[in-house]
Structure 1
């Protein structure tokens, strides 16, 4: 793709469609991951899914899903738009982006998506999931939950955990895009000029990027979940206090709680998002010289 860049509107559109589709497909894994990261009794992802199906039915596995689908669509749109913008600014004369520059572009994209999309949607999703496990949930859905949270806690209520979200998303995007771009450029460098990368290979590259991302950013994800739970205000003064309490009271390994379902989701997520994004860009002719 040397010398070509994505058109902003097309980056936003393709990213939003890819993000919304990925969230809907992989949500049960996200639900199990989030539930496993709350404090209290440790439960395996399989046990959480089994218990939820027994008590709430299949619908229970999608508690908070609408918040994530909307947020993920917005997040992916902002992420690809920001990353493509930063990447074009940092590319060399041949349109290539070195690994350090890709890391910087990804970090910037992660910060943008955390502020404009991820923090509100993740906070609402986390509170809806936390509330759904109660005998008598107080939130009736996305709209009612959002209005209730804002009434009870103000606008800050849906921006709780902004710092760990910014750190997590910055790290997520920096690691994911750097891994993906590096592998993609390697594959393109060994292919015939002008030959498109097959969707199966794009999926594989995206999956590897998701795998690397999970293990490097898991502690930030756990802190983020705790800071967005319903009891966060009573338990933690800030993100650093939260991390300190988890480490001293529950041990270092607690920072990797929920790795399995998050790994399942992000490996699929990386494959799904990049594959859908690349194909939509190809169909709508979203790259220009």
Structure 2
């Protein structure tokens, strides 16, 4: 038995039109893209975090192949996906907000009579979208970082990676709230995060759209599937290379109150000077190798999933032309 609402063809049409609007379609497609991309590269994402936070207190994880083997040996396949559930809980709204807010900001900056932004406006729109998504989902990000390193056998923490009770996401957040400074604890490290995310997202969106234009055959609306994958991989690699030190600072500040890691920072400038003095300039790029290895499949799958889902959602409105 159907309700009058679901049986009403006008209601169904209104829902289809609503879902097919640019902002809503971008929101849904962005969420799907985030979940797909993070799951694809979960082992490398966790390994990057472990590299970033092990500091000078003992290099327990060295070499990508050896570190992945160590993770598998000590924690099994679950070690590859440790923190990924929380990461997906975070990345779905994060990515959804980012893509949909970029669509909104693009509309705000679009000049009358034009259908595309110039590069400076793309950078600004992308940067604003990055800030919006970070502020909306940051507590989930810091929680994911804590869970990612909780079972790792970091020498500085004296852990073996085995027989350790794993806290839940909400348990971790409540513990931080009660014992590490209330609401501010859930936003620790957000300043360096914003400093890195704004240029990263701006570069990512601007590079993707520019490369997409270059790779679109004349007379076509966009490149083919492999072209879209290539656009995503290139844009992500460029953006990550320029902004990686900010990502490292973000991780360090997120675990700054945990004992045994070999560092305690009072400010961003103190952190940068301490890292360079104790670990050298290369210390600002710890974890960059697994990060770059994950960028290509991550951003390629993200942009491809986003465009695929968004194109489908837009076309469910019968008044829209196929993309």
TM-score, with length taken from structure 1: 0.90
Partner secondary structure for residue 235 of structure 1: coil
Q: 1:284 to 1:83 in 2, by over 3 A?
A: same
Is 1:28 the counterpart of 2:43? The answer is yes
Is 1:98 the counterpart of 2:113? The answer is no
> Any residues of structure 2 matched to 1:78-97 within 5 Å, and which?
78-92=97-111, 93-97=113-117
Is 1:251 the counterpart of 2:280? The answer is yes
Q: 1:9 to 1:195 in 2, by over 3 A?
A: closer
List alignment gaps of at least 5 residues for structure 2: 1-19, 153-158
Deviation at 1:144, TM superposition (A): 2.5
> Any residues of structure 2 matched to 1:1-289 within 5 Å, and which?
7-38=22-53, 39-40=55-56, 41-42=58-59, 43-92=62-111, 93-117=113-137, 119-133=138-152, 134-135=159-160, 137=164, 139-153=166-180, 154-188=182-216, 190-192=217-219, 194-229=220-255, 231=257, 235-285=264-314
- 169-178 or 38-47, larger mean C-alpha shift: 38-47
Distance 1:237 1:196 in 2: 48
Deviation at 1:8, TM superposition (A): 1.4
Q: 1:6 to 1:274 in 2, by over 3 A?
A: farther
Q: 1:215 to 1:196 in 2, by over 3 A?
A: closer
* Root mean square deviation, CA, Å: 2.2
Contact 2:142/2:186 (<8 A) preserved: yes
Runs of 4+ in 1 over 6 A off after TM superposition: 286-289
TM-score, with length taken from structure 2: 0.81
